Structure 1
């Protein structure tokens, strides 16, 4: 059995919120990959993107490799982690990957685009990213969980899936 879980999905789908809450309930370490990258580089995500998206993606791939070495951990990935197959390959070795599938209408309704470098061009960009990435999320995931109801319902479903599929000490 696998010994860590990785949440994938669009920006604003609930990866970090769900991950934090479940990690507390199950007493498992939680890592937000974007925060991990900021700590690793001593730069903010927007600062890394200023140099270029490729620059950020290189650090993201490095973070995937480092986090793949840890055990008993819940990881909230960045929304674009699926853009590089190498990221999913390294994470999938010992991670159970859950796609938090939030409908586009819900994402458009409440995402704060001001804090998301790739979304600074507005909501049309979010639609394009959704169309570009949706199938990557689906094919990368071991489990797909809809986040279209109350967050408590989604958390309960995710928790059951984690308990059934992970070997957590």
Structure 2
């Protein structure tokens, strides 16, 4: 049974912010995949990318699989590129509902901090390229899509309106 809620989308789309608040409101656990990777590897995402993007993606795939297998009743915020490897989405879909948080790229560009984001080291214009490469993957991976063009509260309310009852039913119920 699917009891997790998996948030996907571009860097800066609101996955972590929405995920933290949503998990609190629903009484669910919260895992940010990038933070999980940093805690388990004892390295920052930037340090892992310094080895290579392929090195990071391999670790990310292992993390997605582990989280999907071990967690239940959890809101999971994925890194923006997690969808690039189909096995990540396959693993996460086994135990979770995939929600694509679709935020207009212009809004992301206005307020994203590029300093801690290895793929954006060449500047914010890289976001347009990444969106072009990933948009169809986000859309095809999602069980439902939520537009983030206003407030976090509205995004959270829209997600809640789409939630299957399995997500909010506590273990053992």
Q: TM-score range by the shorter chain?
A: over 0.9
- In the alignment, what sits opposite 2:167? 166
Which segments of 5 or more consecutive residues in structure 1 lack a partner in the other structure?
Answer: none
> Offset of 1:168 from its aligned partner?
3.3
Q: TM-score, normalised by structure 2?
A: 0.94
1:113-152 equivalences in 2 (<5 Å): 113-152=114-153
CA RMSD of aligned residues (A): 1.2
Which segments of 5 or more consecutive residues in structure 2 lack a partner in the other structure?
Answer: none
Q: CA separation in 2, counterparts of 1:143 and 1:164?
A: 15
- In the alignment, what sits opposite 2:63? 63
Question: Matched residue of 1:122: which SS?
Answer: coil
Q: CA separation in 2, counterparts of 1:92 and 1:125?
A: 28
> Offset of 1:159 from its aligned partner?
2.0
Q: TM-score, normalised by structure 1?
A: 0.96
1:8-157 equivalences in 2 (<5 Å): 8-69=8-69, 70-157=71-158
Q: CA separation in 2, counterparts of 1:154 and 1:42?
A: 33
Q: After superposition, give the CA deviation of every residue in 1:130-153 in whole Å (9 maximum; x if it has no partner).
A: 100010000000000000012211
> Offset of 1:25 from its aligned partner?
0.8
> Offset of 1:114 from its aligned partner?
1.1
Q: After superposition, give the CA deviation of every residue in 1:7-37 in whole Å (9 maximum; x if it has no partner).
A: 0000000000000001111110000000000
